[in-house]
Amino acid sequence: MENQQITPAQTALNFGIILGAYNIIVGIMLYFLDMHYQNDQTVGIINIVITVVIIMAGIIQFKKANEGFLSLTEALKIGLGVAVISAVLGIIYYFILTGILDPETLDKSLEFQKQKMLSSDPEMSVESANKFVDMQRKFSSPLIISAFAIVGSLFIGFVISLIGGLIVKKSRPE
């Protein structure tokens, strides 16, 4: 039997689906806990750590399947691929959340942020907080949110795969 070569695209697809599924599961858990609109900092940090772990697992698995060799370009392809696939899956979940499960998510999120601002800064007027919320609402269309999700995910995926690729890369001898 021939030894089939695994490609960066195959690895990115597999690990992108894993990361996307993880993000959807966390999103569903937060929805059932009625915390999906709060943008909790702890959840964000945990999600970044898990993202690093999954992207690095993909890069390392590719390196092992590639006879221990990995170029920086391959690492970047894997990291960016994982990031974009998980972002697309996350956007699909977001549309299901805001369109079917809880159409009031945006309003809840903006009201939560307004209350948080008012409680953290007692001197802030309600009018100032309302102006901030109105400005945020303008930048909260599904298209803008999707664009920010993809760009942000690609940036994080690039940074993780660049650093990880520089650490674990190993060139083939000439």
What is the band of 3 on the pLDDT scale with cuts at 50, 70, 90?
low
Confidence of residue 144 (pLDDT cuts 50, 70, 90): very high
Rounded CA separation 151/31 (Å):
24
Note the pLDDT of residue 139: 85
DSSP three-state, residue 70? strand
Rounded to a whole number of angstroms, the CA Rg of the chain reads 20
The two three-digit tokens of residue 84, written as one number: 């974009």
pTM of the model: 0.90
87 CA to centre of own chain = 6
CA pseudo-torsion sign 38, 80, 49, 17: positive
Range of 102-106, 134-138, 157-161 with top mean pLDDT: 157-161
Check residue 38 and give its pLDDT.
85
Instruction: Give the list of residues 6+ apart from residue 61 with CB closer than 8 angstroms, or none.
Output: 11, 15
* Helices and strands counted in the chain (H then E): 6, 0
Read off the pLDDT of residues 23-59 as tens digits, 9 standing for 90 and up. Answer: 999 999 999 998 988 888 999 999 999 999 999 999 9
Alpha carbon distance 62, 6 (integer Å): 7
pLDDT mean over 95-110:
91
C-alpha to C-alpha distance for 123 and 25, rounded to whole angstroms:
39
